[in-house]
Amino acid sequence: MTTFIWIAVAIVLIGIYLSWTAGRLDRLHARIDAARAALDAQLLRRASVAQEVGTSGVLDPAASIVLYQAAHEARQAEEDHREVAESELSQALRAIFAEEAQLEAVREAPGGEQTVAELTAAVRRVPMARRFHNDAVRAARAVRRHRVVRYFRLAGHAPFPLAFEMDDEPPAVLDDRSAGN
């Protein structure tokens, strides 16, 4: 009878551990979903502000076209091409704002200071949002690699989390961190 009690206790403890691990994994997947939503919002905000600058008429025509097209492609990209489109927007922003003169042209336009502030905030928040998302993905992947999680299929039918890899380096003139160095 004592053996039966010990086996029952062991089964209950294993069940509790499995339940706790499944709950942890579920919370990590929810964290990934929230971080991805925040990243999507920041990417959309950056593309919207860039598109606004591209259509404002304050940049030279070639820069306006390049910026508008890159922002439009980033906003309209399918999920499997999104990382490339967002990287191309980052490259377009760096190319256009490589010189301080373009930024000054935006600043001198009516409402330009506010537009520059919005663009600066947008390009600075994208790397942070991407870092939070990728950290959540890394944590979920670490838990999903455990044998217990794989053997008991504690992840259920949730897809394996993927990091969002893109070029998110802001233009030097819009990066407040480079101004302080």
Residue in 50, 8, 34 with CA at minimum distance from that of residue 137: 34
Per-residue pLDDT of the chain (181 residues; tens, 9 = 90+): 899 999 999 999 999 999 999 999 999 999 999 999 999 999 999 999 999 999 999 999 999 999 999 999 999 999 999 999 999 999 999 999 998 889 999 999 999 999 999 999 999 999 999 999 999 999 999 999 999 999 999 998 999 999 999 999 999 988 765 444 4
Looking at residue 175, its pLDDT comes to 75
Residue 178 confidence (pLDDT): 43
Query: What does the buried/exposed string (b/e) look like for 63-79 if buried means 16 or more CB atoms within 10 Å of the residue's CB?
Result: bbebbbebbbbbbebee
